[in-house]
Amino acid sequence: MNQFQRFLLTGALGFAVDFSILYVAVNVGGLGPVSGRLLSFVIAASVTWKVNRHFTFASSQDPATWQWIRYLCTTAIGGAINIGVYRLWLMFTAPDNLNLFAAVVAGSAVALIFNFALSKYIVFNR
């Protein structure tokens, strides 16, 4: 399995965490779709950093705290793209669970390649 395939698997896990937290935040916690998404994004980004550190880019030797901060900062750029697409989707649809899911899919897909390049060449660069 190559690095990009491992990144895709990690992204799938991140997607599951992202949408699960969003669903609970909106439907149980009473947060709005945007504040719920900000919460779910930070949690999902932290999970994907940990998995990428040990699975996708396992050769990385950077101190964990510094690398996590760098990952959150660079992923925030991809996250801005992701959340921008998400918000755009929700501007034209009702914020029901199906559209929340579709908006997360659309945002994640658009930001995927960008996040891989940032992770490979900036965060986990040897």
Q: Who contacts 119 (Cβ-Cβ below 8 Å, separation ≥6)?
A: 7, 52, 56, 57, 71, 74, 75
The string of pLDDT tens digits covering residues 6-19 is 999 999 999 899 99
**Residue 22: which of 9, 35, 11 has the closest Cα?**
35
Give the pLDDT of residue 46: 93
The string of pLDDT tens digits covering residues 12-71 is 999 899 999 999 999 999 999 889 988 998 899 999 999 999 989 876 677 888 888 889
Overall domain count for the chain: 1
Check residue 62 and report its DSSP letter: S
Question: What is the band of 86 on the pLDDT scale with cuts at 50, 70, 90?
Answer: confident
Give the pLDDT of residue 25: 97
Supply the range of the domain harboring residue 82.
3-123
